[in-house]
Amino acid sequence: MKVGILTGGGDCPGLNPAIRGVVYRGMDFGFEFVGIEEGWRGLVKGIYRPLGLSDVEEIIYQGGTMLGSSRTNPFKKGGEKDLEAVLSNIKEAKFDAIVALGGEDTLGVAAKLYSQYGVPTVGVPKTMDNDLSGTDFTFGFDTAAAVGLDAIDRLRDTARSHRRVMVLEVMGRHAGWVAWYVGVAGGADWVTLPEEPLDVDAMVAHLNAVRARGKKYGLVVCSEGTELPALSGEEKAVDDFGHVKLSDRSVGEFVASTITEKTGWESRHAVVGHVHRGGAPTLFDRVLGMRVGIKAAELVRDKQFGQMAALVGTEVKGVDIVGATSVLKVVPPQLVELMKTTFK
């Protein structure tokens, strides 16, 4: 079989181990692999490279993706020519299957190609946001959260030294998993999530209480997707998938300035941003990437198309890709309440 592999959306650690897993397992079945560069743009433009053992052997410890990435969406409004090019290039290249590594957007395209056009696709779940349904964890999340945890531990030192509040903004567009884990594991005094509106009064009251009981510094973790009162109703730029661009929202800066204004407690902010995405994957992400990559090759072998390789408990299984991309996995109310018990 001739199998095309692509990686789309934001990069994250674990993509290269996953590519390696697909190729390593597929070699056992005699598959021919072709790397499709720059995500779905590579299928629109026909940008390919061969993938063999020598190409992937040394990439397990490397961050990013050797295939490049993009946020190209061939199903975007007015993008009929891109979709036609994708379908034509799949046929012309004689791909027997497409393995797509990505998050909700990239795998959403794979799901539509399978369900609407019969393209034999298999998905591999990647997102540092950990917001894909059908899988307990996605590779990239553990590394991203570990980077955030290191940041808050460092900020604690300077917050304590200067008797101020330090606000850390972490990534998380629709789901606050990174903020939740970083905040709970880092002992934050407050955490804001996309899952619930920012309650400024409650945050301010709690920080005042923290200072009143004698604590000389404070730590706040904010998800970049937190909805801010000052931003409601503003016109917002969107990408090819209709997502609001978050680069100019400055959630951490807003929260820090609000704390200073309403409490009089000096506050500063820091943004992890794209630092989350770089660097070598953790042990967990290397192993998970390899495991789901291996399972993807097995799904292709068994012609179980329209499925995604998912971590369910301790097992890696094939799950319906349409269902996995139809609803985001967000932080549930019970975990939000658990988090709040740590605010003392």
Per residue in 240-257, pLDDT (tens digit) is 555 555 556 789 999 999
Domain 144-278: CATH class, spelled out: alpha beta
- Give start-end residues of each CATH 3.40.50.450 domain in the chain: 2-139+281-326
Q: What is the dihedral of CA 143, 149, 150, 156, to 10 degrees?
A: 170
Residue 77 has pLDDT above 80, yes or no: no
- 295-to-24, 96, 110 alpha-carbon distances in Å: 11, 17, 17
Mean pLDDT in residue range 146-170: 97
Active site residue 201: no
Q: Does the pLDDT value for residue 226 go beyond 60? A: yes
Q: Are strands 307-312 and 315-320 parallel, antiparallel or unpaired?
A: antiparallel
Selection from 242, 281, 20, 270 nearest residue 146 by Cα: 281
> Pick the catalytic residue: 129, 131, 189, 285?
129
Task: Give the residues across from 311 on adjacent strands.
Answer: 316
Q: If 0-12 CB within 10 Å is exposed, 13-18 middle and 19+ buried, where does residue 116 land?
A: exposed
Domain with CATH 3.40.50.460 in the chain: 144-278
- Give the angle subtended at the CA of 221 by the CAs of 273 and 325, to the nearest 5°: 65
Residue matched to tokens 């040394």: 58
Summarize pLDDT for 46-64 with one digit per residue, the tens. 999 999 999 999 999 999 9
Please give the structure tokens belonging to residue 219. 């730590």
- 193 phi and psi, to 5 degrees? -130, 155
Average pLDDT, the chain: 93
Give this prediction's pTM.
0.90
Q: Which two tokens stand for residue 40?
A: 């779905």
Dump pLDDT digits (tens) for 112-140: 999 999 999 999 999 999 999 999 999 99
Tokens standing for residue 284: 């967990």
Q: For position 248, what pLDDT does the model report?
A: 63
Lowest mean pLDDT across 74-78, 113-117, 224-228, 322-326: 74-78
> What is the reported pLDDT for 66?
96
> Is 312:136 a contact under the CB 8 Å cutoff?
yes
Rounded CA separation 101/79 (Å): 22
Q: What is the pLDDT of residue 234?
A: 55
- The stretch 102-106 carries a mean pLDDT of 91
Fold (topology level) of 2-139+281-326: Rossmann fold (3.40.50)
Q: Is the pLDDT of residue 279 over 90?
A: yes
Residue 239 binned pLDDT confidence (cut-offs 50, 70, 90): low
* pLDDT mean over 193-222: 96
Q: What is the pLDDT of residue 173?
A: 87
